[in-house]
Chain A
Amino acid sequence: MTLAVKSLLFIAVLGLAACNNPDRYGAGGAGGDGGAGGIDTTGLGDPSNPTSIAYFNQTVGDRVLFAVDQATLTPEGRAVLTRQAQWLNQNPGYAAIIEGHADEQGTAEYNQSLGAKRAAAALNFLISQGVAANRMRPISYGKLRPIEVCSEEACYAQNRRVVTVLAAGAGV
């Protein structure tokens, strides 16, 4: 595949992903739907259909969490990623953006780097489980996109995450 085609592919991935996941900050801009509650979930498919994005998000598990200031995968995180790899290997018609995030305890640049380390840890694990590298692309949002907004550990724990954001129709 040429580089230009690859680039187009990922533009397509991003565009689709923007609609599919409340974490995703796509090119069209967030906020139009008024937050996670306003996301149109119909595009995610039927959660009872094991090949749907909704099934992946809810049943396989689309995210892994991290300890404070750590980018090392936990045993629970490895288990989720193992299931993700199995699902991705069985459903080759999807590509994924691997989003790394940090909680708000930390400076912006450091958290940007920490989110990248987390995304890379998850990406490398998925590759080790047989998922083709060219189906995935890492990104870090640092602390720019918390999913929980309180300033307590209960929220921080949910924000220290890597989310695997799927997009269908990538032609891989």
Chain B
Amino acid sequence: MSERMDALGGLAPPEPAAAVAHRRDLRLNPSLVIGGILVTLVIGAALLSFVWTPYDPVRIDAANRLAGYSGDHLLGTDKFGRDVFSQMLVGARTTMFVGIVAVGIAAVIGVPVGIFAGMGARWASEIVMRLNDLLLAFPALLMAIMFAAVYGPSTLTAMVAIGIATVPAFARLARSGTLQVMSSEYILAARAAGRRRIAIGVRHAFPNIAGLVIVQSSVAFAIAILAEAALSFLGFGTRPPTPSWGRMLQESQELLHSAPRLALWPGVAIAVAVLGFNLLGDGLRDRFDPRLEVRR
């Protein structure tokens, strides 16, 4: 009897087929791959800037103003003779910093509130709805400009303002994801096993919506980068002399005819970063979206 049982109940070896399919999905998804490469480029530039830049990016060199492409200055110099390539590298650092902090603020506040709201906590639902009202009333950029007006323009105010403006997106997402998770039978089973509300949120709801949150983070990152560039361009973001792609664009405005390359490279960098994070988000969504998921 027990022999037969073992034969019938034998554990299949942990399906190598599934693992292979998993890897193939990653490889065949072009937006994931391209997005990943672009994002790696930006992150790499940011990391590189900590240890090496060709020149001090803020060093003014009056003798070498508006130099063209050359072996000395890879992307030339700006109107103060600062090395453009060095500024680009440090600008990547600013960009990543803004993205990480803004998305971090948004996720750390938005996700728990959204989970509690999805689990039926009244106060959390109230917060989600009020935050949504706030967002509808004040678009993110307007909010950031208001922050800059009150606290003075700086990278920090820009990051915080963008972060706060992004909270509702995360809260809404976490709420809807949690609602879906809460209706599943394993939550009922967890309750039947005596799990308390908070434990269900932390141990069961959150891990099951983590995929959605990662996707949202990636997309929000792109939006934050764009918002920071726009704010810096308008003079409400990063202050000089800290290099920022948005500010480099703004400073190149008056020289658009004589030295278009000064506008070109920061523009390309912004496009690459935004495109990279958006593609990455799309690719990750394909991986994580339960509706597209083939039953593994």
A, B in one complex: no
